[in-house]
Amino acid sequence: MVDRADRAPLLMTVRAFYLDIARWAVEEPARWGPWAAPCPIKEAEITDRKRVKRVKARMDQRTRERLPALESFAKAAADHHRFHLTGLEALLAAPPGAAFTVHGTTFVRTGNAATATARGQDGALRYFDLAEHRAFWAWAAVEVLRHTGMRIEEMLELSHHAMIQYRLPTTGEIVPLLQIAPSKTDQERVLLVSPELADVLATIIRRVRNPKTGVIPLLSAYDYEERVWNLPTPLPFQWDRSGENSRISGEFIRNALAEVLAFLGLTDSTGQPLHFAPHDFRRMFITDAIRSGLPPHIAQTIAGHANINTTMGYHAIYPSETLEAHRAFISRRRALRPAEEYRTPTDTEWEDFLGHFERRKLSVGTCARAYGTACIHEHACVRCSLLRPDPAQRDRLVEIRDNLVARITEAEQEGWLGEAEGLQISLTGAQEKLAQLDRRPSRPSTVDLGLPTPRPGPKTRAGSP
């Protein structure tokens, strides 16, 4: 079981309900007093700051997963439409009742010349015209959303009259613009139409234009956000449904994008399908624009946000500054150190490095000398401070100490003062190693803290209470 993502708003609603009853009970005790009760939800449980940060982190991760796959998804949408368009053209070229082959599969066209249906080898009825219709509008939605960053309701309410031209005052060049009608924030804005977007819009207009009159049919669509019927408008996102013009819905676009995903088979890092929602393109557009150097306040104007903090909330955070600073630090460090250190080690060097760890093991412990450094004690390990004695070899160290004492006594008797001085240094080292082992606790010991005793109270005068 996992916590609900919207747990905090639900708790806030319950807490508000209890507090409202408590306030009403003060104003009308007879009516609301019996229902008043302490609120079971504390104020700390509805803190919204942590939830907002978690939502931002999830949205950023969603954008970071989909932005690298955006080009692949757009190409898959075009291939998906081309796949179904080829099937529709093959069906229309075959007479009713005739068999035709598309992408290695044989179909038999059914009905009359006005229908675009066929049956496969399994006997299932296939609607080639509807499949091509969904594939086309999926491709159109992907291209328009990823090049403009507009909301899906703004895209579906886009009018043919919104495509205007503007002459630059400096050069006199005419540039195409796209006028976005007021939507969520009741703020109208204008976008620059790129050549890729202009080609997509021209393809959409050619598709919905009346072949006889050459104009886009007027359509009065229902605005689900405002709950009103809009005036008749030449909407590019419309289709002829059995002789009746109808506006394309947001649910239709979402289902069409799911078909593209099934065609591509794109998955995320966990192996789950990498779903693309229409609003994901808006987040990816803002993130890519700011990463490419567009000032955030310009991105705010293009996106139509009333607050720049909303725009930065859409911007998925990439640790670019941290990565660049780290790379600069590595470059400076590499410049200060010899270049020959940054090369692939040879087999001989690698074997010598591995052998160093084997040579660290001694008879009485382990040598902590760094790799590549020489032994300053000429392997008189008992004298070396880098020797870490093994507790299991304590008896051997005792033997070494006793042997050194006997050899020092013999050297003094024979008058070998130089040898006695060197043996005395080794004896001091052996005694230090034994003391080091004695200071190391063999197992955790307990300390008796005793029982606390009360302090005597202050002295009082005789006769005082």
Smallest Cα–Cα separation from 183: which of 149, 141, 231, 226? 226
* The CA-based dihedral angle spanning residues 42, 48, 50, 56, taken in that order and rounded to the nearest 10 degrees: 160
4: Cβ contacts below 8 Å, ≥ 6 apart:
10
Strands (E), 320-407: 365-367, 387-389
Q: What is the mean pLDDT of residues 274-298?
A: 88
68: Cβ contacts below 8 Å, ≥ 6 apart:
none
Q: What is the mean pLDDT of residues 362-370?
A: 75
Q: Strand 117-119 and strand 387-389: pairing?
A: unpaired
Query: Which two three-digit tokens encode residue 338?
Result: 């010899």
376: Cβ contacts below 8 Å, ≥ 6 apart:
384
pLDDT band at 363 (very low <50, low <70, confident <90, very high): confident
More reliable by pLDDT, 279 or 271: 279
Strand partners, 102: 105
For residue 45, the SS3 value is: helix
Answer whether residue 463 shows pLDDT above 70.
no
Smallest Cα–Cα separation from 8: which of 37, 43, 40? 43
More reliable by pLDDT, 33 or 56: 33
For residue 336, the SS3 value is: helix
Smallest Cα–Cα separation from 92: which of 54, 68, 118? 118
| Per-residue pLDDT at 465 | 40
pLDDT band at 376 (very low <50, low <70, confident <90, very high): low
2-11, 83-92, 247-256: the lowest-pLDDT one: 2-11
Distance CA 253, CA 277 (A): 9
Q: Where are the alpha helices (DSSP H) in 67-172?
A: 70-93, 128-148, 152-156
190-199, 213-222, 336-345: the lowest-pLDDT one: 336-345
424-458 pLDDT tens trace: 888 888 888 888 888 765 555 555 555 556 655 55
63-67, 198-202, 377-381, 390-394: the lowest-pLDDT one: 377-381
6-10, 189-193, 298-302, 358-362: the lowest-pLDDT one: 358-362
Distance CA 68, CA 324 (A): 20
pLDDT band at 184 (very low <50, low <70, confident <90, very high): low
Strands (E), 238-362: 238-241, 244-247
More reliable by pLDDT, 319 or 35: 35
Distance CA 347, CA 122 (A): 63
| Per-residue pLDDT at 464 | 43
200-253 pLDDT tens trace: 999 999 999 988 888 888 888 888 777 888 888 899 999 887 778 888 988 999
Q: Which long-range contacts (CB under 8 A, 24 or more apart) does 225-228 make?
A: 225/153, 225/183, 225/184
Whether 92 and 103 have beta carbons less than 8 Å apart is answered as no
H-run or E-run covering 177: strand 174-180
User: For residue 377, what are the CA distances in angstroms to 281, 369, 426?
Assistant: 69, 11, 11
Distance CA 191, CA 438 (A): 80
